[in-house]
Structure 1
Amino acid sequence: MNKKLISIILPIYNEAESIAVLYDRLNGVIDSLSATYDFEIIMVDDGSADESWKKINQLAQLDCRIRGISFSRNFGHQIAISAGYDYARGDALITMDADLQHPPHLIPALIEEWQKGAAIVYVRNRVVANGLVKKFFSTAYYFILDCIVPIKIPHNVQDFRLIDKKVATIVRQSREQSPYLRGMVAWTGFSSTFIDAAYDKRFTGKSGYSLSKMFKLAFDGMTGFSLFPLKIAAYIGFFVIATGCTMFAYITVDAFCNHVYYPLFKWLVTIIYIFIGVLFILIWFLGEYIGRIYNQLQARPLYVVAEELNSITLSNMMNEKKPLHCHCERV
């Protein structure tokens, strides 16, 4: 019986001190599952400035299951995971950070949920965030995301997850320059489930995710799956026009009915105010066109097929000149 292959993808940036410890822990988990599954470990060096690539080379010489990828420079965490998805050959793909915050001992639980039928298995952190300020911004971010994004992006999850190969196939088709993989995986719409667990602390050093990188990731999440920022001009425009027309109607009635004198500049200011609202509406129209161009450039699949019955490929349908016939026997 052929074993199913599990790909473990590790984006690595300046983690030379933790790679050996991570490998030892992964090896212990993999050995316990080796009777049922085959494994490959894909280590993606995201342009590290330390000896991470050297450590990966040493491990690859000792273990043929390790596959190493080294970037020419630092392209970013999400791009490193995307590269791992591109190179992975597994029936299921597990992504986890190399700083040991994502506990390897949860891998059997991820695989178990996958075997039960879930195409996506997230590891949800029991601890929302460390510190009141970080917790506040995390809660506010997910609240805004829920309000403006049409798909449900899971809360309090990082990139510690398992996806089925059919999910990976869809994700690979999207070649975005600023990917937000948490959203992209959720966008596919396949069945998902959660494992609740507490993440560990970093094994050593400081996180490579600076405040600016965290802000960029959050911004990519909002702009990559919502055109709401482009629609803000419309809301402002309608508000300005409505209030401007109300002001104009008021001074008109007051001037003609109550014989109140209004200087010319007040009439002009009111009219200019209304035209500013019109400009916001025109900006909204321009934004809508830009948004459609942006959606087209993202090149995401138009649809995702979960299952097929009596399937026939589109190319065969296009080449088939005769109508399809189905002969069924009546009982």
Structure 2
Amino acid sequence: MPLISVVTPCYNEEANVHLLYEKIRLIFSTHFPDYDYEHIYIDNASRDTTVALIKQLCTVDKRVKLIVNARNFGHIRSPFYGMLQARGDAVVLMASDLQDPPEVLVDFIRQWEAGYKLVLAIKKQEINSPIMGFIRKKYYQLLEILSDVSITKDFTGFGLYDRIVIEELRALDDAYPYLRGIISELGHEAALVEFIKPPRHGGITHNNFYTLYDMAMLGITNHSKIPLRLATMFGFAMSAISILVAIGYLIYKILFWDVFALGMAPIIVGMFFLGSVQLFFLGIVGEYVGSIHTQVLARPLVIEKERVNLD
């Protein structure tokens, strides 16, 4: 029997883990009775009863498996690590908050049966946050301009990955993997499945400005050198403009010595402008240095505290 691994990262999702289990169990019993599956929860050191609830499911159903992290390793490393622990012929990654609809799993497996090694879920519409949808759209447009490869728009990691793809991800040995970009780097032809992101069933979102910024900058620094080159070209251009302006002021002052007064305003405005530009590009350089630092440290993706029903 083909084995499908469903990996669901979670953090403080006590309101959702049991319903998610029931939905996935129902999908396999109804649509794929000839398939075996395992449901792997990877918990990022939840502070509520999430772990206890999953352990109860583990005692009832051996197909439910649990990895508990020693601490919160973040929203990038933990899901990736969970995928590498799966042993299925195909691995499905979805969030445990039910905003990645489990029902899309049916389309995933059908496309996989048709021969696709990758099946990616594309967020068609975001009901509860049109503003975030607009910002996300503009970000992907910017990333498409900057990136060396074509990044799939509105893909968040929710999708199906064939065993071949999983082993390629394992071989990369990336310490801080940007999954959305890596998938584009691998170059496999992917089937795209659109879905509408539903409202949250229970609990609160754990995404904030920092986590979204972290993901956005990771996409840029991992897949483009253009910001660094823009800094170089902009610095050269500003140097040339400054020299021309200085020569112009000098000539004008010589010709109209008694009536031309420079004043302090242009100097102050120019200083603040150049200072802000320098800080901006220094921040860009810092992002690249931070990314290199993370890779050089080569720390493990996750340190496990315990695992249940997994060898």
TM-score class, shorter-chain normalisation, is 0.7 to 0.9
In the TM superposition, residue 166 of structure 1 has moved relative to its aligned partner by 1.4
Q: 1:287-315 CA distances to partner (integer Å, 9 max, x unpaired)?
A: 6xx77x9399479xxxxxxxxxxxxxxxx
Q: Which residue of 2 aligns with 1:232?
A: 230
Q: Which amino acid aligns with 1:236?
A: F
Distance 1:228 1:130, change over 3 A: farther
Q: Which residue of 1 aligns with 2:24?
A: 26
Q: Which amino acid aligns with 1:125?
A: K
Match of 2:39 among 38, 41, 56: 41
Match of 1:106 among 79, 104, 107: 104
Q: Distance in 2 between matches of 1:179 and 1:154?
A: 16
In the TM superposition, residue 145 of structure 1 has moved relative to its aligned partner by 0.8
Q: Which residue of 1 aligns with 2:194?
A: 196
TM value normalised by structure 1: 0.74
Q: Which residue of 1 aligns with 2:79?
A: 81
Q: Distance in 2 between matches of 1:212 and 1:171?
A: 26
Gapped runs of 5+ residues in structure 1?
A: 300-331
Q: Which residue of 2 aligns with 1:63?
A: 61
Distance 1:297 1:204, change over 3 A: closer
Q: Distance in 1 between matches of 2:156 and 2:140?
A: 13
SS of the equivalent of 1:39 reads strand
Select the structure of larger CA radius of gyration.
1
Q: 1:203-258 CA distances to partner (integer Å, 9 max, x unpaired)?
A: 11111112222222222222222233322320222212321343466568779xx9
Give % identity.
Answer: 26
Distance 1:248 1:17, change over 3 A: closer
Q: Distance in 2 between matches of 1:28 and 1:63?
A: 13
Distance 1:214 1:251, change over 3 A: closer
Q: Distance in 1 between matches of 2:213 and 2:250?
A: 49
Q: Higher relative contact order by CA 8 Å / sep ≥ 6: 1 or 2?
A: 2
Match of 1:53 among 51, 54, 79: 51
2:226 corresponds to 1:216? no
- What is the aligned length? 283
SS of the equivalent of 1:17 reads coil
Q: Which residue of 2 aligns with 1:115?
A: 113
SS of the equivalent of 1:124 reads strand
Distance 1:189 1:20, change over 3 A: same
Match of 1:133 among 125, 131, 134: 131
Report the RMSD for the aligned CA atoms in angstroms: 3.4
Q: Which amino acid aligns with 2:62?
A: C
Q: Distance in 1 between matches of 2:75 and 2:295?
A: 22
Match of 2:165 among 164, 167, 171: 167
SS of the equivalent of 2:4 reads strand
Mapped contact 2:14–2:53 kept (Cα < 8 A)? yes
Q: Which residue of 1 aligns with 2:92?
A: 94
